């Protein structure tokens, strides 16, 4: 029995290491060539694995690209957790805008653009990235509502749209800068109507 355990233990770390290598390779290629230039062959070659390994874990490039993107981006745009939901949302909005000013923003724009013609890409983007981020924001807003910091009579979905919609608008259209000053003014404006005076 001890020998069987010893044999099983090395297998899992190798699988985790291979999975990490694949995700790192996919994210690197995603930033270099974009989603449209990404291929399963390219990911496999960069990660040093066979294509069969990729297809064992992911159905196609959309799934591996989304997981790789999330693994790289999620820590950068995480919500802090302090005593103030307003401060936490504002800090996260600033983190998000910073990410969207760079390669992350370019990749998000590409996912959104390609998703208009490809329902699978749009579904992967919404379910893998957008909905979980939105749920996290609503959870922070509800925390503020529960403590009385934020009005409890406003729909959290509407609050999330008011806070984050303008960030996406500037990222997609690039008609005005997506800078920290804009984000701070936006948060202050929206929260002026949502907080108790």
Average pLDDT of the chain, as a whole number: 91
For residues 124 and 176, membership in a common domain is answered with yes
Q: How confident is the model at residue 128 (pLDDT cuts 50, 70, 90)?
A: confident
What pLDDT score does 11 carry? Answer: 44
Give dist(CA 176, CA 167) in Å, integer. 10
- Residue 42 CA: distances (Å) to CA of 54, 111, 192: 11, 19, 49
CATH of the domain at 124: 1.10.357.10
pLDDT tens for 138-196 read 999 999 999 999 999 999 999 999 999 999 999 999 999 999 999 999 999 999 999 96
Whether 79 and 88 have beta carbons less than 8 Å apart is answered as: yes
Give dist(CA 111, CA 123) in Å, integer. 10
Write down the pTM of the prediction: 0.85
What pLDDT score does 1 carry? Answer: 45
Question: Is residue 73 a part of any domain in this protein?
Answer: no
For residues 148 and 115, membership in a common domain is answered with yes
Total count of domains within the chain? 2
Rg of the chain's alpha carbons, rounded to an integer?
20
For residues 121 and 38, membership in a common domain is answered with no
Does the pLDDT of residue 54 top 60, yes or no? yes
Domain-ending residue, one of 65, 87, 115: 65
Beta bridge partners of 15: none
CATH of the domain at 7: 1.10.10.60
Per the structure, the complete domain to which residue 10 belongs is given by 2-65
Give dist(CA 29, CA 125) in Å, integer. 18
Does the pLDDT of residue 99 top 80, yes or no? yes
For residues 160 and 89, membership in a common domain is answered with yes
């Amino acid at each position: 029995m001890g020998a069987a355990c010893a044999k099983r233990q090395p297998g899992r770390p190798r699988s985790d290491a291979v999975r990490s290598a694949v995700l790192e390779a996919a994210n690197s290629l995603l930033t270099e060539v974009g989603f449209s230039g990404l291929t399963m062959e390219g990911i496999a070659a960069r990660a040093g694995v066979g294509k069969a390994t990729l297809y064992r874990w992911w159905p196609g490039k959309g799934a591996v690209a989304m997981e790789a993107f999330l693994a790289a981006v999620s820590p950068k745009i995480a919500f802090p957790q302090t005593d103030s939901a307003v401060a936490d949302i504002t800090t996260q909005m600033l983190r998000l805008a910073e990410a969207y000013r760079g390669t992350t923003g370019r990749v998000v724009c590409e996912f959104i653009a390609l998703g208009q013609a490809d329902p699978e890409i749009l579904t992967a983007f919404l379910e893998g990235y957008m909905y979980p981020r939105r749920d996290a924001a609503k959870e922070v807003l509800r925390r503020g509502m529960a403590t009385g910091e934020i009005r409890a009579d406003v729909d959290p979905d509407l609050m999330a749209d008011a806070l984050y919609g303008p960030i996406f608008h500037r990222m997609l259209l690039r008609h005005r800068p997506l800078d920290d000053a804009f984000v701070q003014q936006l948060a202050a404006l929206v929260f002026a109507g949502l907080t108790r005076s």
